[in-house]
């Protein structure tokens, strides 16, 4: 199987989960990075012999709007796909259903859905170190089941995914906006890597809160650890999530 990865992974957790499944499914093909602000996604076309992994993190129970808009430009060409949502051990709510629906609209045949856990991108103490060894083995076993289904050519329609239609309302942004601290040397890496182009290239200390999607890419790539969300806000978020994130969630397969 020629496996194409279509991934929105600002901080790397979603990419790691996708790579585990991809390696077990077949031969590595192209990687389409949905965080690339200047890419022409309308030029991406697959065919029925390809297998795609379409992977996105759960942002407050939804597919990130930026990822959804870029995915919508891709032509699936009847390729089988795995919808993969990755979350920080709280809940993924409507994310997997929304991702599956989006893939179908693009012309993909959704063969399976997977929900996996990775380190929380904002409160990194939650799900720290995940996907871990146990996750890896589980995701590999999922991939083997999915590969067997695709090879059989079984087509019973799109698997039932958890979630609701209409999807939950998108939460308002503007609160979890990372800012540059005293350690910032204005190297501009954060501006170049920002999926939403929310950071000024001329002055990286300036962030457009209206464009920022709170993906934490700038925090993860800063070579001087000079970008962060206000510590008081992080503490408040950590407290709010404490109960929901206290019990380990395991990967799930829908096939």
Per-residue pLDDT tens over the stretch 61-86? 999 999 999 999 999 999 999 999 99
| Local structure of 3: helix, strand or coil | strand
Q: Would you place residue 157 in the very low, low, confident or very high pLDDT band (cuts 50, 70, 90)? A: confident
Tell me what the pLDDT averaged over the chain comes to: 95
- 111/83 Cα distance (integer angstroms): 8
Percent of the chain with pLDDT over 70: 98
Instruction: Write down the pLDDT at residue 159.
Output: 95
Residue 153 has pLDDT above 90, yes or no: no
Q: Indicate the pairing of strand 2-7 with strand 50-57.
A: parallel
Tokens of 51: 């297998």
Token pair for 23? 């390696």
Is the pLDDT at 41 greater than 80, yes or no?
A: yes
Structural contact between residues 86 and 54, judged by C-beta atoms closer than 8 angstroms = no
Helix 133-152 vs helix 13-25: angle between axes, to the nearest 10 degrees? 50
What are the structural domains, with CATH classification, of the chain? 2-163+248-254 (3.40.50.360), 179-228 (3.30.70.20)
- 171/2: higher pLDDT: 2
Helix (H, G, I), strand (E, B) or coil at 25: helix
Q: What is the pTM of this model?
A: 0.96
Contact criterion met (CB below 8 Å) for 14 and 137: no
Alpha helices in 55-200 (DSSP H): 65-71, 95-105, 133-152, 189-193
- List CB contacts of 65: < 8 A, sequence separation 6 or more: 170, 213
The predicted structure's pLDDT at residue 174: 63
Extract the tokens encoding 225: 């650890």
pLDDT-derived band of residue 20, with 50, 70 and 90 as boundaries? Answer: very high
122: left (phi over 0), alpha (psi -120 to 50) or beta: alpha
Q: Is 12 helix (H, G, I), strand (E, B) or coil?
A: coil
pLDDT digits (tens, 9 = 90+) for 159-210: 999 999 999 998 765 679 999 999 999 999 999 999 999 999 999 999 999 9
Tell me the per-residue pLDDT of 107-118, one tens digit each, with 9 for 90 and over.
999 999 999 999
Q: Assess whether pLDDT exceeds 80 at residue 5.
A: yes
Pairing of strands 27-33, 2-7: parallel
pLDDT score at 22 = 97
Q: Which residue has the tokens 């698997």?
A: 159
């Amino acid at each position: 199987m020629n496996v194409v990865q279509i991934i929105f992974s600002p901080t790397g957790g979603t990419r790691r989960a996708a790579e585990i499944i991809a390696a077990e499914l077949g031969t590595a093909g192209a990687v389409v990075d949905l965080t690339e602000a200047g890419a022409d996604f309308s030029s991406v076309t697959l065919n029925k012999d390809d297998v795609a992994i379409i992977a996105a993190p759960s942002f407050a129970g939804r597919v990130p709007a930026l990822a959804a808009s870029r995915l919508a430009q891709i032509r699936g060409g009847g390729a089988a796909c795995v919808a993969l949502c990755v979350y920080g051990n709280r809940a993924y709510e409507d994310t997997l259903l929304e991702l599956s629906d989006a893939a179908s609209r693009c012309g993909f045949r959704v063969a399976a859905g997977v929900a996996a856990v990775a380190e929380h991108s904002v409160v990194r103490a939650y799900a720290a170190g995940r996907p871990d060894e146990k996750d890896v083995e589980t995701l590999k076993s999922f991939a083997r089941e999915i590969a067997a289904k695709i090879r059989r050519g079984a087509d019973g329609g799109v698997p039932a995914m958890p979630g609701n239609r209409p999807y939950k309302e998108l939460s308002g942004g503007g609160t979890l906006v990372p800012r540059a601290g005293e350690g910032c040397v204005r190297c501009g890496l954060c501006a170049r890597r920002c999926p939403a182009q929310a950071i000024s290239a001329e002055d990286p200390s300036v962030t457009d809160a209206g464009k920022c999607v709170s993906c934490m890419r700038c925090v993860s790539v800063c070579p001087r650890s000079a970008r962060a969300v206000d510590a008081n806000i992080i503490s408040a978020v950590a407290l709010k999530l404490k109960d929901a994130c206290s019990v380990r969630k395991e990967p799930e397969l829908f096939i």
